[in-house]
Every structure is written in structure tokens, then in C-alpha cells.
Structure 1
Amino acid sequence: MPTNRGTSKSNICLTITLYILQGMNLGLASSIPLFLIYYGATWKDRGTFNFAKYPFSLKLLWAPLIDVLYIKRFGRRKSWLIPILLISGVVLLSISFFIQSWIITNRVVLLTIVFFVIYFLTASEDVCVDGFAITLFAASNPQWASTSQSIGQTFGRFLGSSFLLTFESANFTNRFIRKPLSLPYQTTGLFSLVHFVRFVAVAFLIVTVCLIIFVREKEETLNTNGTQTNNLSLIQTYLSIIKLFKKKCIQQITIVSIISPIGSAAIQSMTSLALI
């Protein structure tokens, strides 16, 4: 599948698929506290697990490394994207054999460490895919980059949270699926958490193989405005970020972004857990 500069359906499908994988990881991580509550986790345990989410907020620290350092033979984005997807798939497949027992025995610290790694990989993947999307849609419709992200991550989060929690529930599936179809009641849902984690792992591995075989990345030559790109060194990239944060407008919006969630933090983070 060639990565041409036009807004082809293949490019749109590719970016949406990559964003769906991200969303499934994020949705899965947001579902874990609910499983922990079911098995008696305390508020301290829930607070401990929230540390796993920090890599997504700190990805700016290593984003320049992903953007600047790459193997030209493989391509700027594929040099990082393929190893990240492969490692993510292997990690998810590995933990699928232990995650249920970890949750039942409240191994919160271990779960936090594992999902910290998953969040780190997902944040790194997000940096790659954002740059990849901009490259694919640079000369034609750059708005498709953000549109693909909105569609893909939203649907992925839905699969990893609402879809998982709904159809993993024995009560829901017995009442709304098995009973109308005159099927015998079961003590489990249509699938378990273990099955879903393995499904996500296999999806990562399949997409990785498809990227290796079918996607040919072209070297970036144009910006979104059609001008020639200027490749910065790693130090120049970090210096440009520091220079950007010295601007008053950026400082103001940073302060607003940090302060604004304080008023609703308790409602967003704690209310849904307290209702369980």
C-alpha cells in the first residue's frame, strides 16, 4: 500500500486503525479500576493505579527522540512504529495469562507497573502516528489527521471500556442476549477480560505484520503548507521546544490547561468509581 500524498481511502483506514489500537489500550486501562473495585480494592489502590497514566501527559519529553532519530532505510515513522506495536502486542499477550489472578489478589503495584509500560508504549505510538498522519495528509487535506484521531481513539476507547464491561458481564448477557435467544444461562459473559486482552494483543501483532509487508513509507519533503521541510537535529528540536515555551501566549495557555481541570477532577476521576 503506497503512502501517497493524496487523501486515499487506504491512508484514512491506516491511520484510523492505528488510532483504534491506541484507544483500545487506553480504554482497557480505564476499565481495570472497575475490575479492582469488584474484588475489593481500596481508594488507596485506585489512587496507586492512576500513576500508570502519567506517560501520556509527559510524552513531550521523549517525542523529539522519536521524531529525529530513525533508520532511513525503514522510514521515519516505521522505524519506531513497528517495534512499539510489536512490543505492545507481546506485552499484552504475556499479561493475558496473569491479569485475572493479579486483579483477584489485588496486585495493584504490579498492575500499575505493567500498565505504566503499556501507557508509555501507547504514548510513544501516539507520537509516531500523529507524525505519520500529518505526512500522509500533508499536501491535500491535513484536517484528516485530527479527524482520524478523533474517530479511531474514540471507537478504540469504546471497545476497551464500554464494550468490554458490557459483554463481559454475565448479568447483561444472560438478560439481554441469552434469555431472548432461549440460550442456557451462564456464570460468565460472552467473553472474559483475558479473552479481550488476547484479542487486543493479536490485533497489534496483525497490524504490525501488515505494516511491514504492505506499507511503504516515503521520505517527508513537504510541510502542511507545501514548503520544503527543514530537518532539525535532536538538540535543535529540544531548543525549539524551549523557545516555544518562552512565548507568553504558550505560557498562558499552559497555565490555563493545568489549572482548569482542578475544579472537575474529583467528579471526573472519583464519582464513576464511587457509584460502583
Structure 2
Amino acid sequence: MGQECQKCQNKQEGHANEIHKQEVISSDSDPEYEEEDEKQPQKPPSMDSKSNTSTFIKEQYNSLESKQEQIESPLNQLKFQDGGIYTGIIINNMANGLGRLVMTNGDVHEGSFINNKLEGDGKCIYARGPIYTGQFKQGKSCGLGIEVWPDGSVYEGEFQNGKKHGKGVYKWSQQSTYNGEWADNMINGIGKYEWPDGRSYQGQWVRNQMHGRGFYKWIDGKYYDGEYENDKKSGFGIFNWSDGKQYQGYWLDGKQHGKGLMINKEGKKKFGEWQNGKLISCSDESNLQIIPDGWFLNTFNQ
């Protein structure tokens, strides 16, 4: 973060001695980046790397019954060419009704089947992943559901095409929580992330990262209201310390970079130019415009 400004030359002659008595406004350290744990949000796990569908990949199967017969017999069994075994109600030589499918990889699908696909309410137990309980459409999780992971992490919310999509709440086993919008199994849109130590970020997200406008606050009262890019402050933002000191200005890669204004707790102002977190020049000008036109304070402070 920024360093102490070298004392600007006094514009009025005869006050050289007073320069040493002026209170120099320092940006101090930003605790968010000073600590070992930067407290960036955790990334939610997903099933994207493996099959996340309860559909039958192949609808060809071997049955003791003739394919031409109209079958309606409870608790019969179908064995599919991909190795999956279905036990349940069979109509027209297809899984139709309540049943249970065990896949060769150990995944288990239970619920109401229509033409070999889960439809409506059902449950999937993934051998190397979560347990999903909720609604299905065409064999994929779609609608409202609950996803419980082996480590105890839980997602409850909306699904689409087999993925977390829409609005939902995810609670990690370490007690961090996210409540907001999702797209394709990733945090994406507007939402609030809360850490166990009381920190929180409310704002915009893109692909699991704080990206766009957001409001990050600490339990002791510090806050940052501004723009983010890939989990780091970037663009215009305002950092407010718990003692009332404030920095208004521009950031890059998590550090002050560009024009800025420091205001100490007594309200004294000092304009400056920052580079990679260091104050390289300062001015006593009082008419500089720092806050961009149309900027609304505390947009996501809730």
C-alpha cells in the first residue's frame, strides 16, 4: 500500500519550520493484503470434470422380454449395454415409473423415470461426488434441489441442465457462505460472500471471482467500496479505515495506482499520484475531482 508522502514544499515563504509540524497523511497498510491469508473466496466444487447426468447414454438394452411386447410389470430389471442396471417399473420395455439405476462407476440414480430418464423428483448419489436430491428434467437436475458434498459442504437452490444455475446458497464445511446468483456451476452475477471471521463481500462476480463493483467490509468497520478485477481491487475505489481515515482514488492489481485523495481523521486532504502502491507525488490543490461522475456510494452496502 501507499507510503508516507514526502512533505510538500510550503507555498508560502516564511513557514519552513511549520512544515515539520504538519500531520503527514499516510495510506498505511491495507490489512486485506498484509495478512498471510488474503481471504479470497473459496471456489465451489462441481461435477464438470465427470458425468453429471442421470440419463442413459445408450437406450439399447437387454431384457428377458421381447421388445415388441407391451410390458407393464413392477420391479423388473433392465441391463443396459453400457453396464447400467435398472430395477423398477417397466412399461414398453423402458424405465417408466419409480425405479433405481446403478451405473458401472458406482453412481446411483433413484426416482421417477419417464422413457429411461429421471423426471420430476429424484435423487442421485455420486460415488466420487455429492448427493443431489431435487427436481429433474430429461434426466438432469433442473429446478430446485440440494447438493451435499462429502466434506459437508451444501448447496441449496436452483439448477439447470445438470448444473447450479440461477439463485442459490452454498455453505462450505469451513463455514464460509455465498448467497446469490450462479451460472454453469460457478458464482456469477450478484451475490454476497461471508467469511467465518466476519468479513463479507457484496457485489458483482464473474466465474467465481470478485469482478466489477463491490463492497468488501471487515468486522472492525473498515471497508472498500469500489471496482474489482479477478479478485483484486482495480479501477476506482474508496478505502475507509476504522479510525475514519479514507483513500479515494484508483487501483491496479490490488494496489493504489493513479490519482488519489487521502483524507485523515480530522478531515485534512492531500491529493497525490500513486504507482504500484507507493505515493510518488502530492499536491495541496483543493479543486481536483476524484470521484467519477455518476458514482454512487455504498451501492452494495447491505
Which structure is larger by alpha-carbon Rg, 1 or 2? Answer: 2
Shorter-chain TM-score tier: under 0.3
Q: Normalising by structure 2, report the TM-score.
A: 0.22
Looking at secondary structure, tell me which structure has more strand per residue.
2
Looking at secondary structure, tell me which structure has more helix per residue.
1
Flag the structure with more relative contact order, 1 or 2, with Cα contacts below 8 A and sequence separation at least 6.
Answer: 1
Q: Normalising by structure 1, report the TM-score.
A: 0.23
